[in-house]
Structure 1
């Protein structure tokens, strides 16, 4: 909390400190508290939950409450909570990512990892992503983002070890059908690994491109977004498959 009794809100992302989605999120968040921004100094997409363990991390102050880090989104949240802020923030807002984060993407996304790191540190968090690429369309979501953030901040409690993953459909906010709570879908990638030869004649590989196919339950995130809804998926830190605990115990592993 600050001296004015306002909650401290931390904004981060994986697209870099200059990204338009981050600026939008920080502007919206200012209506709800004292906003601090700690974000990577460059693009850090698909870094997942990486920590910069084997080199020093440089922290640069850009203005009174705005910092950039030459590291990953996870580095940013860790530095903000442990070093920059005098007390832990009341909420961490990660995004708005330029591109979707649905299905298995949440395992690779630096945006989602920023929210996850906050959750590990005991701070409620939301990851936001926009499934399009037109910033003029993204800018129409200011009021809707404010409604979502305000609804979460007004809660008297937030579920332990859980954060929200929000995906905005690729259409103006005025055309959104509504907000729905969803489950993760599944996406299978095809032809996403490409071989080539570098100028020296060595084989090299590029990851990305190709095409993908979605599948999942009727309440999956990708189905909601396709239908023009904002998808809100609660994600939990515990990856244990509890339904299989007793079965795997019966395998007699190690005996």
Structure 2
């Protein structure tokens, strides 16, 4: 399973996703960045949306070669998006790639979605390992979505991350509005909006008369600032949110250090 030797100092770009290796979004991403270096794809063999940072334990993982991308080395994995990153580094590349790209996801991963997203968890896993990473999502769930604008901005951003030597733990959550490429207003570096789904479970009955539940809900934005990803996307900007895997609440930590008694 050894990877072919790279020519000179050619950059190695790992690509994964959570929609599965056959999704149009990952094919669009491969096409948009293949000129930047040697692309290697390791992606789930089936949709894994909403898996978050799940890893597979207690059952074997398998890798199978794929010819979906022509001459580009590709593997489909029976595990989660995070499993794909771990296996890619250890068993396919035998080294850390220069960058990891995850996506292009079908549907948004702005605001609270970043917590649940398999797309972003794969990118964060790469960042944990010291691999600069970008998760990319298009605000269109359709398998017939137009990825041309997303491809344009994916290539622009990936090239800069590859060559500007940002922090090795860099992780960017990038969302692209579902509008024609000529209507996109450029990048806007944002914060994550305080927005979430007001959820409820619809109760239904199966053919045997037993109850089952189906998650539904409405997306509500509680953050009216103009520095958020939701605002940027509503105004046709490509939102770029730097995210991190350190979940420490530092302001609260300082308060607790002063107020907790022992």
**TM-score under structure 1 length normalisation:** 0.93
Long gaps (5+) in structure 1: none
Residue aligning to 2:53: 49
Residue aligning to 2:148: 139
What is the Cα deviation at residue 137 of structure 1?
2.1
Whether the 8 Å contact between 1:144 and 1:173 is mirrored in structure 2 is no
What is the Cα deviation at residue 53 of structure 1?
0.8
Tell me if 1:192 matches 2:200: yes
Runs of 4 or more above 4 Å deviation: none
- What is the CA RMSD across the aligned residues, in angstroms? 1.7
How many matched pairs?
A: 252
Q: Which moved more, 1:7-16 or 1:169-178?
A: 169-178
Residue aligning to 2:33: 29
Residue aligning to 1:210: 217
Equivalents in 2 of 1:71, 1:49: separation in Å?
A: 12
What is the Cα deviation at residue 198 of structure 1?
2.5
Q: Which moved more, 1:51-60 or 1:222-231?
A: 51-60
Q: Which moved more, 1:98-107 or 1:185-194?
A: 185-194
Whether the 8 Å contact between 1:162 and 1:237 is mirrored in structure 2 is no
Equivalents in 2 of 1:160, 1:5: separation in Å?
A: 18
**TM-score under structure 2 length normalisation:** 0.91
Equivalents in 1 of 2:259, 2:22: separation in Å?
A: 52
Equivalents in 2 of 1:40, 1:141: separation in Å?
A: 21
What is the Cα deviation at residue 229 of structure 1?
0.4
Q: How does 1:105-254 map to 2 (within 5 A)?
A: 105-134=113-142, 135-155=144-164, 157-207=165-215, 209-216=216-223, 217-252=225-260
